[in-house]
């Protein structure tokens, strides 16, 4: 019986000739990740064990990004804990203020993860790196802590869903619209503990930033991971950002999939997830007259340079609607610098938006954009649960950067076509 991409990677890292869905394995890890929320929990648990150091100082990454720069005393203590642990164990990949970025944009940018590798992170959106053809998944802090000191983790090998992408998306349709459409089709538990494996001739029409966005939200369908085939775009990205050797795995022709879905990218329209679940999707044309109070453009889902370029293209020469707060957050320092050099930051500020240092802040209701009761935000983030961005009586609508930027101009959920674009 053939294996999927994910199963082949797991078999190789478990030292086994093959694995099958449901099998329990112990696999070697190429990268272990934590942030300023999940890291301290792992560190405190690890310190109770006899193992006194990390398994490989080059294969652990600690990134304070959720409440950094520190928003209060508690967040400062969390960052201090992670900072001191990184220094004590000489961890190579520690990134804080000045070098920081949103972890799931930063690690690929730094070349820390490449095709064929395994990664666990104490953050659910660790599945982002499947865009590179890697197996990456979120775990609890205790599992992450054990991985940090042993270099291994146990997994139940997931079965898989095949998602065949065909066609080419239209100008204002991006990876965010693709994944929102898919989650709308199958639901937030439609891929529960399964691998979402993307394939088809439409993949070549998606940029790497599109693929990162799609893989990032695989967890919002309940998936263990999302993964893309390695093609010329993937290889070019890895060669630009990394010196690590990569391994290309391809699914066997007789690989077994639980289900198969076909998505024609050319037929997709700008899509929005209504409160309070990512599966509650509608096209913008179906949305109706939904007025908003705040727009957030950023996050580990949509804070990359293409996202900012798209938003700036729409906002160029326009003004944010009266009473609308617009917050733009580049995902890393390098992206921030590139946005400055390309004049995007000036465009945002002239339009009436603010531009923040890289942080997860508003996405999880942390800071830099908390909502009051009754307020609505349209956001390029990945979750819109009750109270996700602030008060339990606030609402979050998920969208692409194009829709978010157009909505900033009109003051209600809109697509660029409504601005004549």
φ, ψ of residue 210 in degrees (nearest 5): -60, -45
Q: Which domains does the chain have, with CATH numbers?
A: 5-264 (3.30.499.10), 272-419 (3.30.499.10)
- Enumerate residue ranges in the chain where pLDDT < 50: none
Q: Alpha-carbon distance 33 to 66, whole Å?
A: 14
Helix extents (H) in 47-191: 73-88, 103-109, 141-150, 175-186
The answer, yes or no, to whether the previous bond of 69 is cis (omega within 30 of 0) is yes
**Pair 407, 419: CB distance under 8 Å:** no
**b/e per residue 398-421 (b: at least 16 CB within 10 A):** bbbbbbbbbbbbbbbbbbbbeeee
96 to each of 67, 137, 330, how far by Cα in Å?
Answer: 11, 23, 15
DSSP string, 314-350: HHTT--PPTT-EEEE--SBHHHHHHHHHTTHHHHHHH
Strand arrangement, sheet containing 135-138: 93-94, 60-63, 31-35, 118-121, 135-138
Pairing label, strands 271-273, 281-283: antiparallel
Determine the pLDDT at residue 99: 87
Determine the pLDDT at residue 47: 85
142 to each of 76, 113, 123, 212, 352, how far by Cα in Å?
Answer: 22, 22, 12, 26, 43
């Amino acid at each position: 019986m053939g294996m999927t991409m994910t199963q082949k990677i797991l078999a190789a890292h478990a030292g086994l000739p093959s694995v099958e869905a449901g099998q329990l394995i112990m696999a070697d890890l190429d990268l272990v990740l934590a942030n300023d929320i999940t890291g301290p929990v792992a560190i405190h648990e690890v310190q109770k064990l006899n193992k006194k150091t990390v398994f490989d100082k080059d294969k652990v990454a600690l990134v304070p990004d959720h409440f950094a720069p520190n928003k209060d005393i508690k967040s400062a203590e969390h960052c201090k804990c992670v900072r001191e642990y990184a220094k004590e164990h000489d961890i190579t990949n520690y990134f804080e203020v000045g070098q920081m970025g949103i972890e799931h944009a930063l690690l690929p940018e730094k070349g820390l993860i490449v095709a064929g590798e395994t990664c666990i992170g104490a953050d659910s959106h660790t599945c982002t790196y499947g865009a590179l053809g890697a197996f990456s998944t979120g775990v609890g802090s205790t599992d992450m802590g054990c991985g940090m000191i042993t270099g291994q983790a146990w997994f139940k090998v997931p079965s898989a869903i095949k998602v065949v992408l065909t066609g080419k998306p239209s100008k204002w349709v991006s990876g965010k619209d693709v994944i929102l459409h898919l989650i709308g089709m199958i639901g937030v538990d439609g891929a529960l503990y399964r691998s979402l494996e993307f394939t088809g001739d439409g993949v070549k029409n998606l940029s790497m930033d599109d693929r990162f966005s799609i893989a990032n939200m695989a967890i919002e369908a309940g998936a263990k991971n999302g993964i893309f085939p390695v093609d010329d775009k993937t290889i070019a990205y890895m060669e630009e950002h990394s010196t690590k050797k990569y391994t290309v795995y391809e699914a066997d022709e007789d690989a077994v999939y639980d289900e198969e879905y076909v998505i024609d990218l050319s037929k997709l329209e700008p899509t929005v997830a209504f409160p309070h679940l990512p599966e509650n999707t509608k096209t913008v044309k179906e949305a109706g007259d939904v007025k908003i109070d705040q727009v957030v453009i950023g996050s580990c889902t949509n804070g990359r340079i293409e996202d900012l370029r798209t938003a700036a293209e729409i906002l160029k020469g326009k003004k944010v609607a009266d009473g609308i707060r617009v917050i733009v957050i580049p995902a890393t320092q390098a992206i921030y610098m590139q946005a400055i050099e390309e004049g995007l930051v000036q465009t945002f500020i002239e339009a009436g938006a603010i531009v923040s240092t890289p942080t997860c802040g508003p996405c999880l209701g942390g800071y830099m954009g908390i909502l009051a009761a009754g307020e609505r935000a349209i956001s390029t983030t990945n979750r819109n649960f009750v109270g996700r961005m602030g008060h339990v009586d606030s609402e979050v609508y998920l969208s692409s950067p194009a829709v978010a930027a157009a909505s900033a101009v009109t003051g209600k959920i809109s697509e660029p076509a409504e601005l004549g674009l």
